[in-house]
């Protein structure tokens, strides 16, 4: 079951320096954004389906932001006023396809490639202790602190709304820390956002 219904999903790439390095990329001078289609969303316990066309499908645990108030040209200082909730997100990626495509729509856009947990209101979250942990079959493979983001959440919201209007319900995925790795048939992957909750999904071969 889909837990949210955004008009768009805006994602940030290479927003942790160590993750950029592990993929052989440079940290960008400004936020690197891309889209995932709303049709990629799945919820808790739904299966991530690895497409036959890809030989490497990776997990990417991220802190997700749910927009609560329409915003255009929002200053970073006002960004939290436009955010309704935070949510764990798994930005599943066909890494081999990403490496050969100039655009990431295919690698990021397959059905089931955006696992989203239950949103928690911003007022119920300790924003100072935000972090993301990814476990595969119970083993911690990613652990990142929001303080290590190259561009923090208010800066991301300012940047995106300088380009496009963010509508209530839109989802912003704020980037993944280092430690990404391939999934395989039968795995169970869990993304936890500290103080928010987690989303847990089995993995099957399509």
pLDDT digits (tens, 9 = 90+) for 66-120: 999 999 999 999 999 999 999 999 999 999 999 999 999 999 999 999 999 999 9
C-alpha separations of 168 from 66, 70, 91, 138 in Å: 8, 6, 21, 34
Mean pLDDT of 112-135: 97
pLDDT band, very low/low/confident/very high, at 26 (cuts 50, 70, 90): confident
> At 148, is the secondary structure helix, strand, or coil?
helix
- pTM of this structure: 0.95
pLDDT of residue 1: 33
Pairwise CA distance, residues 4 & 103, whole Å:
25
Tell me how many degrees the CA angle 16-18-21 measures, rounded to the nearest 5. Answer: 110
Which of the four pLDDT bands, split at 50, 70 and 90, describes residue 27?
A: confident
Please answer whether residues 83 and 71 qualify as being in contact, where contact means their C-beta atoms are separated by less than 8 angstroms: no
Average pLDDT estimate for 129-135: 97
List of domains in the chain: 9-205 (3.90.850.10)
Q: CA 154 to CA 76: how far, in whole Å?
A: 5
Report pLDDT for 17.
76
Q: CA 12, 6, 103 angle in degrees (round to 5)?
A: 40
Percent of the chain predicted with pLDDT > 70:
96
Confidence of residue 20 (pLDDT cuts 50, 70, 90): low
**pLDDT value for 34:** 97
Considering only 23-37, 75-89, 141-155, which range has the smallest mean pLDDT? 23-37
Residue 167's pLDDT is 98
Q: In sequence order, which residues have a C-beta less than 8 Å from that of residue 188 and are 6 or more positions away?
A: 136, 137, 138, 200, 201, 202, 203
């Amino acid at each position: 079951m889909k837990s949210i219904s955004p008009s768009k999903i805006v994602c940030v790439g290479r927003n942790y320096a160590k993750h950029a390095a592990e993929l052989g990329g440079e940290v960008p001078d400004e936020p690197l954004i891309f889209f995932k289609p709303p049709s990629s969303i799945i919820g808790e316990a739904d299966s991530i389906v690895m497409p036959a066309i890809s030989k490497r499908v990776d997990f990417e645990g991220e802190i997700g932001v749910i927009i609560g108030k329409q915003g255009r040209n929002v200053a970073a200082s006002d960004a939290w006023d436009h955010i309704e909730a935070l949510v764990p997100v798994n930005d599943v990626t066909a890494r081999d396809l990403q490496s050969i495509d100039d655009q990431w729509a295919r690698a990021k856009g397959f059905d089931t490639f955006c696992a989203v947990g239950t949103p928690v209101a911003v007022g119920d979250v300790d924003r100072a202790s935000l972090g993301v942990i990814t476990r595969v079959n119970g083993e911690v493979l990613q652990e990142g602190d929001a303080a290590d983001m190259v561009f923090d959440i208010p800066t991301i919201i300012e940047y995106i709304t300088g380009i496009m209007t963010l509508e209530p319900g839109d989802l912003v995925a704020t980037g993944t820390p280092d430690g990404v790795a391939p999934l395989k048939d039968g795995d169970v992957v869990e993304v936890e956002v500290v103080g928010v909750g987690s989303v847990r999904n089995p993995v099957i071969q399509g």
